[in-house]
Amino acid sequence: MTPSSKKPIHAPIQVGRPVPDFELPGTNGETVKLSGYRGRKVVLYFYPKDLTPACTQESCDFRDAAPSFGEANAIILGISTNDLKSHYKFIQKYELPFVLLADPEHEACELFGVWQEKQLYGRKYMGIVRSTFLIDENGILIQEWRNIKVKGHVDTVKQALGGGN
């Protein structure tokens, strides 16, 4: 790929700076625009794949914590490269009460720097590095957690929102 044929490069997102806007199809039947949530905090979590053990645990942990996130004026959005059909199955099977966004072209993933080379059993491939971003009511990134481990992560995010354990 020649430099002129690449997608425009955005400056890396940084804590304390505005998060670039994006639009993706959501399981709410709409094209979801990040800026549409101004006035509320957004917990944006990127996960590798629907219906896999760690991603299911993480999503169910967010599901179980959703009421306390709502009390903190925060909404939860999950993003993976799976399509909407896969997301609908995931939501139905685990009764997830929040919108999942489909990013098959990994546009938002690249915007947030979570689309990276990974390695499993000696094989290298591109994929999502599990990460969560906390965005304030004005669209400013206030905290990020990259390459996270699932156990205890949602409690850490709740604490950042002032929700305790």
Q: What's the pLDDT tens digit per position in 99-150? A: 999 999 999 999 999 999 998 889 998 999 999 999 999 999 999 999 999 9
Q: What is the dihedral of CA 22, 28, 29, 33, to 10 degrees?
A: -20
Q: Which residues contact 11 (CB under 8 A, 6 or more apart)?
A: none
- How do beta strands 115-120 and 123-128 pair? antiparallel
Per-residue pLDDT tens digits for 21-77: 999 999 999 999 999 999 999 999 999 999 999 999 999 999 999 999 999 999 999
Confidence (pTM): 0.90
Determine which one of 19, 32, 34, 55 is catalytic. 55
The question of whether 60 is a catalytic residue gets the answer: no
Amino acid, res. 140: I
